[in-house]
Amino acid sequence: MKLQDGMQFGFFLAVLTILTPLLGGWMAKVFSGQGHFLSKPLGWLERLVYRCSLVDEREEMDWKHYAWAVMLFSIAGIVSVMILLMVQASLPMNPQNLPNLPWHLAFNTAVSFITNTNWQSYGGESTMSYFSQMVALTVHNFVSAATGIAIFLAFARAISRRQVKTIGNFWVDMTRATVYVLLPVSFIYALFLISQGAIQNFTAYLEVLGLDGVKQTLAMGPVASQEAIKMLGTNGGGFFNVNSAHPFENPTPLTNFIQMLSIFVIPAALTFVYGRMVGSAKHGWAIFAAMMAMFIFFTVTSYQSEYVNNPVFNQSGVMEGKETRFGVGTSILFSTITTAASCGAVNAMHSSLSPISGGIAMLNMMLGEVIFGGVGAGMYGMLIFVILTVFLAGLMVGRTPEYLGKKIEAWDMKMVTLAILLPSAVILFFSGISMVLPVGLSSLANKGPHGFSEIVYAFTSAAANNGSAFAGLNANTVYYNVMLAFAMFIGRFGIIVPFLAVCGSLAAKKYAPPSSGTFPTDNVLFVLLLIAVIIIVGALTFFPALTLGPIVEQLLMLKGTTF
């Protein structure tokens, strides 16, 4: 690894580790209802939300009511966003007079932003008005991220409470996450981006004459405000088609570093929040260590693959598809972060990565994006694997598995298995269908294993609620807009609903004090076993697909074969 790249990587890890307890300690106070420094300046806004929405913040929900609240809120969001996009031309703040979106693109986009996926089958600057960008999309960047945090909080309460039916109030959890965490931090973040050169205006697009004498159009708009929450909320939907490779979204190397850091900072801090809420700080750090170890391994592997000599170009570290301001090393770091964290923002085109680097980006998503993962979603995805790990450990020693004093029983494991299998089945089944239908193959830009990877990557990104793409696949068709929308919906709620069922089950259980036979969940052995379970489940499920795509393409590339 080059010295400059190694120093940046090390500095990134150091800053992330330092911020984890600082931000996590404050968020633990916010989510537990304790007083904090924003209680007074923003408390009125929290109370106003409850008053306007007729919510009693003292009333709690059981897991079924919590799940219904999540589902009804999300479905209402899908319907409202779809309607807004289909009548965009009649709404204000549309200086370019952009037309209405067709139903299938509006449906895909609505599901995408409500599920925190932010998959984009369109170019933002040529499709979305300023009103659509702000009201239809940016608003849901906030609330979809807050929804993920709320699901995580429900589990933290369930595991820490004893023989109760309730796991909190969804409306309260979502409101506090938005008002006290996402909104104020995003406001400061947007001001920072503006200071570095990101644009924030409502003017019409500008016609300018370039240095080569060719006239070009410069898209304008409220970019910085969307950019801040898209990163902080691990949303990823770019205002511009090239996302964070665009200088108006990501102006400088400093903004690039802060953007990468902001993708991970809340998911990492939630490990500390979890340790505080369940009364085991060491267990929270053990989960953090497992995430960090996998992240380091996959980043280094991806980096080394990118610098393997490419016989096609007769060089290593190929710059094709990468932003010259950032180079190969930073592009690889960004790609690993964004696919590990269900963000989907990119500063380089993933289709241009080396086959193994592209395969690692896919694998990050296939594993459930539990390597820090999305805001809230990464933690509840990881906790599913934690329960599975504890269950397997219990089987190995021949006793009923226990996790933090709660016995893991048959019902819990059925729900955990369902949450793991549903997204995996969607990726493989939907990809398989698209491989054999002419309507699926007609959108490919490449043949051979790379074309195979384009389709698998698309459904992996959708089911994992990531939103990044290989870019060679033309997904703006009726077939892909509808299929990817269903993949995003199942990938989101096919995990949330079974996970909330586990929350309800655990909350109702008695507390079992740890004994000599209890498997400890705060040591190195647990971290290693947790990593092994995650890798083995991913490898067994997706190894054939990865072999037919990135691995075969890498071997053929080394022989100089192209498609």
pLDDT per residue as tens digits for the range 337-347: 999 998 989 99
Nearest-angstrom CA–CA distance, 229 and 140? 10
Average pLDDT, the chain: 93
- The count of domains in the chain is 1
Residue 406, H or E segment = strand 406-407
Distance between CA atoms of residues 491 and 178, nearest Å: 23
What pLDDT does residue 102 have? 97
Q: Residue 365's closest CA among 383, 377, 347?
A: 377
Ordered alpha helix ranges (H), 316-447: 327-340, 355-366, 377-397, 410-436, 438-441
326-340: pLDDT as tens digits: 989 999 999 999 999
- Is-contact 272 284, C-beta < 8 A? yes
* Residue 369 burial (10 A CB sphere; 0-12, 13-18, 19+): buried
Three-class secondary structure of residue 166 per DSSP: strand
Distance (Å, whole) CA 148 – CA 56: 21
Question: For residue 196, is it within any domain?
Answer: yes
Distance CA 277, CA 429 (A): 38
CA distance 275 to 266: 14
**Over residues 191-205, mean pLDDT:** 95
The DSSP bridge partners found for residue 348 are 322
For residue 516, pLDDT over 80 is answered with no
Using 50, 70 and 90 to split pLDDT, how confident is the model at 87? very high
Q: Find, among 393, 372, 391, the residue nearest to 502 by Cα.
A: 391
Burial profile 400-416: b = 16 or more Cβ within 10 angstroms, e = fewer: ebbbbbbbbeeebeebb
Q: Is residue 314 part of a domain?
A: no
* Closest C-alpha to 162, from 402, 512, 416: 512
85 neighbors 136 (Cβ within 8 angstroms)? yes
In a domain? residue 372: no
Assess contact for 192 and 259: CB atoms under 8 A: no
219 inside domain? yes
Mean pLDDT of 386-403: 88
Does residue 139 lie within any of the structural domains? yes
Residue 22 has pLDDT above 90, yes or no: yes
Those residues whose C-beta lies under 8 Å from the C-beta of residue 546, and which sit 6 or more positions away, are: 359, 362, 363, 366
Asked if 303 and 5 count as a contact pair (C-beta separation under 8 A), the reply is yes
Nearest Cα neighbor of 273 from 289, 262, 288 is: 288
- What stretches of 128-252 show up as alpha helix (H) in DSSP? 130-131, 139-160, 170-176, 183-196, 223-232
Q: What contacts 100, CB < 8 A, 6 or more positions away?
A: 85, 86, 87, 88, 89, 90
Q: What's residue 309's pLDDT?
A: 86
Element (H, E) at 209: strand 206-209
Q: Is the pLDDT assigned to residue 236 strictly greater than 90?
A: no
Q: Say what the pLDDT of residue 284 is.
A: 96
Of 183-187, 246-250, 486-490, 537-541, the poorest mean pLDDT is in 537-541
- Give the C-alpha separation, 84 to 387, whole Å: 41
The CA distance from 206 to 204, in Å, is 6
Residue with tokens 């909350």: 507
Domain for residue 357, yes or no?
no
Which region among 190-194, 210-214, 356-360 has the lowest average model confidence (pLDDT)?
210-214
Residue 490 confidence (pLDDT) above 90: yes
Question: In the predicted model, is pLDDT for residue 515 greater than 80?
Answer: no
Domain range for 66? 23-271
Q: Which residues contact 51 (CB under 8 A, 6 or more apart)?
A: none
Residue range 180-189: average pLDDT? 96
Report which residue type is found at 280. S
SS3 label, residue 206: strand
Comparison of pLDDT for 400 and 110, the residue scoring more: 110
- Of the pLDDT bands very low, low, confident and very high (cuts 50, 70, 90), residue 107 is very high
Residue 266 in any domain: the answer is yes
* pLDDT for position 446: 86
316 band by pLDDT with thresholds 50, 70 and 90: confident
How many Cβ atoms sit within 10 Å of the Cβ of residue 48?
A: 12
Amino acid symbol at 322: K
Task: List the one residue out of 122, 88, 87, 117 whose CA is nearest residue 105.
Answer: 122
CA distances from 217 to 130, 207, 208, 210, 222 (A): 17, 5, 6, 10, 17
3-class DSSP state of 468: coil
Q: What is the mean pLDDT of residues 131-153?
A: 95
Q: Is residue 210 part of a domain?
A: yes
| Lookup: tokens for 107 | 């449906």
Q: What is the mean pLDDT of residues 182-205?
A: 96
Average pLDDT over residues 362-370: 92
Q: pLDDT at position 122, please?
A: 92
In the structure, what pLDDT confidence band is assigned to residue 472 with cuts at 50, 70 and 90? confident
Distance from the Cα of residue 352 to its chain's centroid:
21
